[in-house]
Amino acid sequence: MAGVTFNHVSKDFGDLRVVSDLNIEVQDKEFLVFVGPSGCGKSTSLRMLAGLEEITEGEILIGDRVVNNVAPKDRDVAMVFQSYALYPHMTVYDNMAFGLKLRKTPKKVIDERVTEAANELGIGHLLDRRPRQLSGGQRQRVAVGRAIVREPAVFLMDEPLSNLDAKLRVEARSFISRLHQRLETTFIYVTHDQVEAMTMGTRICVLNEGELQQIDSPFNLYHNPHNIFVAGFIGSPSMNFFDATLTESNGSMVVDVGAFSLDVPESKADSFRSHVGMDVICGIRPEDIHDTNYLPQGIIPANLTTNVEVVEQMGNEVIIYLENGGKNFIARTDPRTGASVGNEMGVTFNLDNIHIFDATTEESLSYESKRKEVA
């Protein structure tokens, strides 16, 4: 068991910098998720940690040991690959035992560990089969089993669920979370799926274009995004953004979107004051736009009449595509809403949860103050 440290780590492929000055401290026994769009450097970071890619700059530590020049086999990590990478000519048993055999583990110990892990994973009856005789879900479990029997200090998982169908993926998600709780080992998990990241990670590390955007708990990432990228990436449907200007007159602050304007609650005004008179980007999540007829209690409302363009009935909620004065945005409302396409609808913005970003740096104006609140 060990923590992992990325210390000013960068990676170049030729002239292309794919990971740039990454600084992360992963605590022992933590479940850290790297998430980001394709090409953001998340897999490369994991592969550098595994020893499958060289580190261009900086150093990576597992525990207290710098592993830059340590061979993959000596790093005490086990990895589950996106493609599973099971050895096709070996049985499930041999696949799982391969790493232990290479380490000259006594046969009795190998037998015990493989059988125990296989039974735990529900693949005990498949030990004599070859990978091609298994279903996708079973292969995925074998790949996890191969990692478990090694009893490594750090588990690395590179999009291990992306080849499973939706139902299996949900099952596998909880299965991996349970595994993490039982093994009490450091897990580092790469995914492009923000739902996976949010549901599994104790902390999430959001990457974009090789740069760390934010590393935080799922709750903080959602409610206090550091910048527009994180705000837009986490959450589905994603946050609505409006180009706006911030004005203040007679002590009350207003976000002017053009088509409409929103009053900033007094409690939030302080953190935005530095940007009065400047261009900003206003962000509001779909669930903070309500049908005026079905308002939750205790919010600071701002009412608006909108045109309904598309209604997606989900059963437990309704996703509505709205338009007002040329601005399009999405609301996630109470399922009882009477919205219908082509008609007008009264909506209410919950101004408590409004996000304001600097138009140039794209950073949240309230990030620091909210962070202090949480702390």
**Quick check: 359 binds another protein (CB under 8 A)?**
no
Q: Which of residues 111-150 bind another protein (CB under 8 A)?
A: 130-134, 136, 139, 146, 150
Residue placing its CB nearer to another protein in the complex, 171 or 270 = 171
Q: Which stretch binds another protein (CB under 8 A): 65-73, 269-277, 287-295, 323-331?
A: 65-73
Among 37, 99, 232, 265, binds another protein (CB under 8 A): 99
What is the DSSP code string of 279-308?
A: EEEEEE-GGGEEETTSPPTT--EEEEEEEE
**Quick check: 109 binds another protein (CB under 8 A)?**
no
Q: Which stretch binds another protein (CB under 8 A): 2-10, 72-80, 258-266, 307-315?
A: 72-80
Q: Distance between CA 327 and CA 240 in Å, rounded?
A: 10
**Quick check: 77 binds another protein (CB under 8 A)?**
yes
Residue placing its CB nearer to another protein in the complex, 98 or 278 = 98
Q: Distance between CA 99 and CA 107 in Å, rounded?
A: 12
Among 66, 72, 178, 243, binds another protein (CB under 8 A): 72
Residue placing its CB nearer to another protein in the complex, 84 or 349 = 84
**Quick check: 157 binds another protein (CB under 8 A)?**
no
What is the DSSP code string of 104-158?
A: T--HHHHHHHHHHHHHHHT-GGGTTS-GGGS-HHHHHHHHHHHHHTT--SEEEEE
Q: Give the helix, strand, coil percentages of the chain, each rounded to 5.
A: 30, 35, 35
Q: Distance between CA 301 and CA 290 in Å, rounded?
A: 9
Nearest to 371 by CA among 266, 224, 215: 224
**Quick check: 251 binds another protein (CB under 8 A)?**
no
Residue placing its CB nearer to another protein in the complex, 73 or 182 = 73
Among 24, 33, 40, 86, binds another protein (CB under 8 A): 86
**Quick check: 163 binds another protein (CB under 8 A)?**
yes
Residue 168 host element (H or E): helix 166-183
Residue 334 corresponds to which tokens in the numbers above?
A: 């109470």
Residue 128 corresponds to which tokens in the numbers above?
A: 């004599």
Please measure the distance between the N-terminal and C-terminal CA atoms of the chain and give it in whole angstroms: 28
Q: How far is the CB of 295 from another protein (least distance, A)?
A: 47
Size of the site for another protein (CB under 8 A): 32
Among 103, 125, 178, 273, binds another protein (CB under 8 A): 103
Nearest to 131 by CA among 81, 72, 188: 81
Among 8, 65, 73, 107, binds another protein (CB under 8 A): 73
Q: How far is the CB of 86 from another protein (least distance, A)?
A: 6
Binding mask 18-47 for another protein (x = CB under 8 A): ------------------------------
**Quick check: 81 binds another protein (CB under 8 A)?**
yes
CA dihedral sign, ordered 229, 231, 235, 241 = negative
Q: At a CB cut-off of 8 Å and minimum separation 6, what does 121 contact?
A: 141, 142, 144, 145, 148
Residue placing its CB nearer to another protein in the complex, 150 or 355 = 150
CB distance 327 to 257 below 8 Å: yes
Q: What residue ranges bind another protein (CB under 8 A)?
A: 50-52, 71-73, 77-79, 81-89, 98-99, 102-103, 130-134, 136, 139, 146, 150, 163
